[in-house]
C-alpha cells in the first residue's frame, strides 16, 4: 500500500472494487491478447454476478477489453464503443469455486489470438490475476509483468532470468506453474521496469517459447 493507493485511483464511479477493479481485469485481457478483440465470454462469480450491474461492472469489464483505463470518460458508453469496434461480448453467471467474491473469468478472442484470464478485484481498485491460459499465476498489475508460456525444460527459468538481467531490469516477484513435467509451463514475472522490445523479441525467438506478452503497469503513480 502506497500513499497513491489511499488517495486514488482517479476513476469513473460508482465503485472502486466493482468498477475500477473490473476495468483493470478487462485491461489485463486486452494487453495479453495483443490484437483487436472481436469476441469475449465473461463469467461473473458471486458478488460480481449479484450486484455487478448496479455498479457498472459489465461496462467496466468491456471498457477494459477495449483498452480504456478506469478513468476513461468513455467507460459508461463501453457497450456502444464495443459495437463500434466490432467486439461482441456475452456475460454469464458462473460459480468459479472457492475464490474471492469479486472474480471474473474472461475468454477473449481476436482474429488470430485468444487468451483466458481469471482474476479478482480485491478492493480500492486493486486486482489479483490468478489464472492465465488456464494456468495458475499471481500478480497485481501494479508493476510491468512479463507472461511467458513455454515447454517445460531444464534451465528455462535461468535463461529467461539471464535475459532480463542483461536488459538491466530487476525482477520483483515471480510465479511459475506447469501442467505436467515436460508439458506447458507459465511464468509470470513482475518487474521494476518494463522490458525492452529487443529482449522481448529475443525471448520469443526460442523454440521452447510458445507465447510471450508484456503487460504494462496498470496503476498510475
Partner 1 sequence: MTLEELMNAPAPASSWVLAQDCQETGLDPHDIRAEMARRLREMRASIERGLNSDAKSITGMVGWNAKGLWDAPDVLGAPLLKRVQAYAMAVNEENARMGRIVAAPTAGSAGTIPGALIGVADHLGLPDERLVDPLILAAGVGKAISKRMFISGAAGGCQAEIGSSAAMAAAAVTELLGGTPRACVHAASLALMNSIGLVCDPVGGYVEVPCVSRNAFYAVHAVSAAQLALAQLESFIPPDEVLGAMASVGRMMPPELRETAEGGLAQTPTGLAVAARMEGKAGGEQPSGMVELPLA
- Applying CB under 8 A, the residues found at the interface with partner 1 are 1-17, 19-20, 38-39, 41, 47, 50-51, 53-56, 58-59, 71, 73, 75-77, 79-80, 82-83, 87-91, 101, 123-125, 192, 220-221
Shortest distance, position 135 Cβ to partner 1, whole Å: 25
Specify the residue, 82 or 174, whose C-beta has the smaller distance to partner 1: 82
Shortest distance, position 125 Cβ to partner 1, whole Å: 6
Shortest distance, position 203 Cβ to partner 1, whole Å: 25
Shortest distance, position 59 Cβ to partner 1, whole Å: 7
Specify the residue, 90 or 198, whose C-beta has the smaller distance to partner 1: 90
Shortest distance, position 32 Cβ to partner 1, whole Å: 20
Specify the residue, 31 or 55, whose C-beta has the smaller distance to partner 1: 55
Specify the residue, 79 or 202, whose C-beta has the smaller distance to partner 1: 79
Shortest distance, position 38 Cβ to partner 1, whole Å: 7
Residue with cell 461482441: 88
Pairing of strands 114-123, 126-132: antiparallel
Does residue 173 contact residue 192 with C-beta atoms inside 8 Å?
no
Nearest residue to 75 (alpha-carbon basis) of 23, 33, 38? 23
At 93, list the grid cell: 453467471
Q: CA-CA distance, 104 to 6, in Å (whole number)?
A: 24
Instruction: Centre a 10 Å sphere on the Cβ of residue 144 and count the other Cβ atoms it contains.
Output: 19
* Euclidean distance between the first and the last CA atom of the chain, given in angstroms as a whole number: 12
At 169, list the grid cell: 531490469
Specify the residue, 84 or 153, whose C-beta has the smaller distance to partner 1: 84
Which residues are 117's β-sheet partners?
106, 132
Q: CA-CA distance, 107 to 133, in Å (whole number)?
A: 9
Alpha carbon 29 to chain centroid, angstroms: 5
Specify the residue, 13 or 134, whose C-beta has the smaller distance to partner 1: 13
Instruction: Centre a 10 Å sphere on the Cβ of residue 121 and count the other Cβ atoms it contains.
Output: 29
Amino acid at each position: 500500500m502506497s500513499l497513491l493507493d489511499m488517495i486514488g485511483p482517479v476513476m469513473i464511479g460508482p465503485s472502486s472494487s466493482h468498477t475500477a477493479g473490473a476495468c483493470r481485469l478487462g485491461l489485463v485481457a486486452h494487453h495479453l491478447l495483443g490484437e483487436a478483440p472481436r469476441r469475449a465470454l465473461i463469467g461473473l462469480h458471486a458478488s460480481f454476478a449479484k450486484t455487478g450491474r448496479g455498479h457498472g461492472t459489465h461496462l467496466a469489464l468491456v471498457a477494459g477489453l477495449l483498452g480504456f483505463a478506469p478513468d476513461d470518460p468513455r467507460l459508461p458508453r463501453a457497450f456502444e464503443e464495443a459495437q463500434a469496434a466490432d467486439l461482441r461480448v456475452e456475460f454469464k453467471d458462473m460459480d468459479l469455486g472457492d475464490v474471492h467474491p469479486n472474480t471474473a473469468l474472461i475468454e477473449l478472442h481476436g482474429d488470430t489470438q485468444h487468451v483466458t484470464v481469471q482474476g479478482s478485484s480485491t478492493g480500492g481498485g486493486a486486482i489479483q490475476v490468478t489464472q492465465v491460459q488456464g494456468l495458475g499465476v499471481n500478480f497485481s498489475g501494479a508493476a510491468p509483468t512479463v507472461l511467458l508460456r513455454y515447454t517445460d525444460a531444464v534451465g528455462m527459468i535461468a535463461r529467461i532470468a539471464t535475459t532480463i538481467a542483461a536488459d538491466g531490469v530487476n525482477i520483483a516477484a515471480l510465479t511459475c506453474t506447469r501442467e505436467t513435467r515436460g508439458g506447458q509451463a507459465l511464468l509470470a514475472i513482475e518487474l521494476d521496469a518494463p522490458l525492452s522490445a529487443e529482449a522481448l523479441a529475443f525471448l520469443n525467438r526460442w523454440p521452447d517459447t510458445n507465447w510471450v506478452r508484456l503487460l504494462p503497469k496498470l496503476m498510475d503513480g
